[in-house]
A and B are shown apart, each in its own frame.
Chain A
């Protein structure tokens, strides 16, 4: 469904991504992990058209999406959340999501229908009771849920989640994991998720891909990844390899 080949992105002399190949098949939850600075968020930004890669192609449903603007990519069906949450902070939760419905689709509905639809999405994400609260007054967990709700409002076929569990307490983490699974199972949306919380990412991912210094060092099922020597080296340092 989403496939990238030979993607490289340099910031000056620093290679943020080096010849990365990735493929996300329809209906899976794919984890993307790696130490800080590995290039995970850069990859998201390249997919969303925020950065233009120095080389490589990204195909979404068979069409090259490199060179498109972020808003066009959104309308084609890729939704994204931010690692550092970026809600429309002076708007209510409901308005935030309605904006997604109004602008994120190719054939947007009228304002009234958009509001009704936004309400359904808020219900799904467990934010219905807080719909009139201004986004800036939400807790972090709710802000992250709102980010996902707003992305869902654009009717994506694939959702890129950037550290949605980071910073949440154990209960909130469990709820979030459940929600992400429901997004895939009930809405049929493919998910590519960047996450540092290993417990979460191991639990929900069908496949995991590991980036280190901009290069892909491993890919496979969660249980394989935990045993991969290069992954352990990248995370813990060489001396832990026995």
Chain B
């Protein structure tokens, strides 16, 4: 079937609907616990970031600087909302556009002027994030420098209708649904991109750039598209983070965590599957928070690192591949082996 498989199978669609339904019922299952939902909300935001990072990876480019987009998105949206009174839904969109422009700019520099590939590109992005942080610290009058921004308004102001109060400031449940919707939207867009001509071009470039160019793929143009779309979603995730946590300061906004979390999530879940970064992120984040921190309050990162090592050694393609193999074998009733061998290594187009 290859990567040009057109329609999704009914099994994939069923799995997808099941997962979404489960996700929507989750707040009921955890008894509306504010603590659990807060952790989940952060995980959802980082999932969006991981997904945006995976767009660039699907084009064969590894970035160590997504903190640049994340932090800038957060700052642009927060400042617009506070200093200029732009309603957050609009300011988030603007920050997305800003992220896309940043992506196009740094992409143009790296891919056209510098012709940077592989580690050179990755490290340039690392430097880019650092440059952004220093700029924000030193642009005091505009960004409030190292003091940071307080009281960033929530996505929607508190309002009442029919006796119900929608309080995105304090209540975690509406935030959960909002962020879930954002993740779902991002997922569908990324999926659409990956299954389009653009996605096929990404695939060629990630396989062999010279060969791609020789068969007529405009590698520069497609790499630019990849980093633009990636920057857009990364900035949007940063913006949602700012409006969710209500506080932002340069070292946090441009923290290396925002660069590393997508890498770790994608490694954990599997880069080749669309769902890999999402579930990788959710599981890593939640395991760390609910299990490892309980076991070892100080140094829980140690356990996380050990888990990652195990995953990389025993499931180099990520654990979602294993989950998918299992699901496929259940659905095909034992005749799984031939199926998994053929379909899985090229599972980019798969829905879940």
Contact = CB atoms under 8 A, between A and B. Distances in A.
Interface of A: 48, 50, 69-71, 74-75, 79-80, 82, 86-92, 94-95, 98-100, 102-105, 111-112, 115, 132, 134, 150-151, 153-154
29 contacts: A69-B218, A71-B214, A71-B217, A71-B218, A71-B219, A74-B213, A80-B214, A86-B208, A86-B210, A88-B203, A88-B204, A88-B212, A89-B208, A91-B203, A92-B2, A95-B2, A98-B4, A99-B200, A99-B203, A99-B204, A99-B215, A99-B217, A102-B200, A105-B216, A112-B6, A134-B346, A151-B214, A151-B215, A154-B215
Interface of B: 2-4, 6, 197, 200-201, 203-204, 207-208, 210-220, 342, 345-346
Contacts of A115: 4
B6 to A, nearest CB: 7
A197 to B, nearest CB: 23
Contact of B2 (A48, A132, A151): A132
Contacts of A69: 213, 218, 220
A71 B230 CA distance: 24
Contact of A153 (B201, B204, B211, B215): B215
Contacts of A103: 200-201, 204, 212, 215-217
Contacts of A87: 208, 211
Contact of A104 (B3, B197, B207, B216): B216
Contacts of B217: 71, 99, 103
B208 A91 contact: no
Contact of B3 (A75, A79, A89, A91): A91
A238 B3 CA distance: 56
B1 to A, nearest CB: 8
Given A82-B210, A91-B2, A91-B203, A100 B215 contact: yes
A-B CB proximity, top 7 nearest: A104-B216, A88-B207, A86-B211, A74-B216, A103-B216, A70-B213, A95-B2
Contacts of A91: 2-3, 203, 207, 346
A115 B219 CA distance: 22
B214 A74 contact: yes
Contacts of A75: 216
A88 B4 contact: no
Contacts of A95: 2-4
B144 to A, nearest CB: 45
Nearest to A155: B216
Given A74-B216, A99-B212, 4 more contacts: A71-B218, A82-B211, A92-B2, A100-B216
A92 B216 contact: no
Contacts of B3: 91, 95
Nearest to A135: B207
B217 to A, nearest CB: 5
Nearest to A99: B204
A87 B207 CA distance: 8
A137 to B, nearest CB: 11
Contacts of B219: 71
Nearest to B207: A88
Nearest to B211: A86
Nearest to B3: A95
Residue of A50, A111, A150 most packed against chain B (CB within 10 A): A111
Contact of B197 (A50, A102, A154): A102
Contacts of A50: 210
A100 B6 CA distance: 19
B214 A70 contact: yes
Residue of B210, B214, B219, B345 most packed against chain A (CB within 10 A): B214
Contacts of B207: 88-91
A104 B215 contact: yes
A88 B208 contact: yes
A92 B197 CA distance: 17
Residue of B6, B211, B212, B218 most packed against chain A (CB within 10 A): B211
A79 B214 CA distance: 7
A70 B219 CA distance: 10
Nearest to B216: A104
A71 B3 CA distance: 22
Nearest to B210: A86
Given A48-B214, A71-B218, A71-B219, A90 B345 contact: yes
Contacts of B218: 69, 71
A150 B113 CA distance: 30
B115 to A, nearest CB: 12
Contacts of B200: 99, 102-103
Contacts of B210: 50, 82, 86
A122 to B, nearest CB: 12
Given A88-B203, A88-B207, A71 B4 contact: no
A69 B216 CA distance: 9
A153 B208 CA distance: 17
B342 A71 contact: no
Contact of A74 (B204, B215, B220, B345): B215
Nearest to A92: B2
